[in-house]
Amino acid sequence: MDTIKGIYNAVIEGKVEEASSGVQAALDSGTGVNDILNNALIAAMDLVGERFGEGEIFIPQVLWSAKAMQAGMDLLKPRFAPSDHAATGRVVIGTAKGDIHDIGKNLVAIMLEGAGFEVVDLGVDVPPERFVEKALEEKAQVIAMSALLTTTMQSMGEVVSRLKEKNLSHVKVLIGGAPVDQAFCEEIGADAYGMDAVDGVRKVKGLLGR
């Protein structure tokens, strides 16, 4: 089996050590960083995402795959050209003000990192102004917010309003969580709604044209 195929399979099967050793072997043999990234790691996670979307696999297996991908990415990142690194994107993520649930947010953060994004995790109960300040400070392209209750999702709209007030419409907003849907996304003027963690990553990629 060639090295690329081996890494690809290791990520799909969530085998962290095999993915890591495969990437190292590929680098040692002179395989290009972009070849490993696109044809092994990203291609594998794309298939994992598809399988999740089809209900063939579920979150635990996706997390294993994301961890395997992350292990490979850790070896690739130091070798990225500066332009490659900037191209992956930076996401500021957190749970909406008043909300202390973090599992969904954590899953999205892990999968975004696995997909190569830099993630700045603000934690839970994050005030709207904090999202905007941090996005500016970190030069993030995306703010991702999660809420579990109808009482806490309203603050997401405030983040969108603040971005508009500050003429920061280039910062895209992704929302998700149990009470949130596409209609609410449109109502508050957010850029995308992620119905689950995998869809969230897909939407971030879409927002950034990846």
Window 95-134: residues binding other proteins (CB under 8 A): 97-103, 106-107, 110
149 contacts other proteins (rule: CB under 8 A): yes
Cα–Cα dist 64/69, whole Å: 9
Best CA proximity match to 189, nearest among 167, 152, 208, 164: 164
**Two tokens at 102?**
């973090």
For other proteins, give the closer residue by CB, 133 or 196: 196
For other proteins, give the closer residue by CB, 41 or 207: 41
Q: Please count the CA atoms within 13 angstroms of the CA of 175 that sit on its side-chain side.
A: 27
The correct pick among 27, 43, 47, 63 for binding other proteins (CB under 8 A) is 63
55 contacts other proteins (rule: CB under 8 A): yes
What is the number of residues in the chain? 210
64 contacts other proteins (rule: CB under 8 A): yes
CB atoms inside a 10 Å sphere around CB 134: 17
Cβ-based burial of 54 (10 A; exposed 0-12, middle 13-18, buried ≥19): exposed
**Two tokens at 75?**
């070896």
For other proteins, give the closer residue by CB, 28 or 54: 54
For other proteins, give the closer residue by CB, 154 or 161: 154
87 contacts other proteins (rule: CB under 8 A): no
For other proteins, give the closer residue by CB, 26 or 188: 188
CB atoms inside a 10 Å sphere around CB 8: 23
82 contacts other proteins (rule: CB under 8 A): no
Q: Assess contact for 29 and 37: CB atoms under 8 A.
A: no
Cα–Cα dist 191/174, whole Å: 6
Which of 18-26, 34-42, 51-59, 169-177 is the region at the interface with other proteins (rule: CB under 8 A)? 51-59
25 contacts other proteins (rule: CB under 8 A): no
For other proteins, give the closer residue by CB, 58 or 81: 58
69 contacts other proteins (rule: CB under 8 A): no
Could you give phi then psi for residue 15, rounded to 5 degrees? -95, 100
Residues of this chain that interact with other proteins (CB under 8 A) are: 55, 58-61, 63-64, 66-67, 97-103, 106-107, 110, 148-152, 178-179
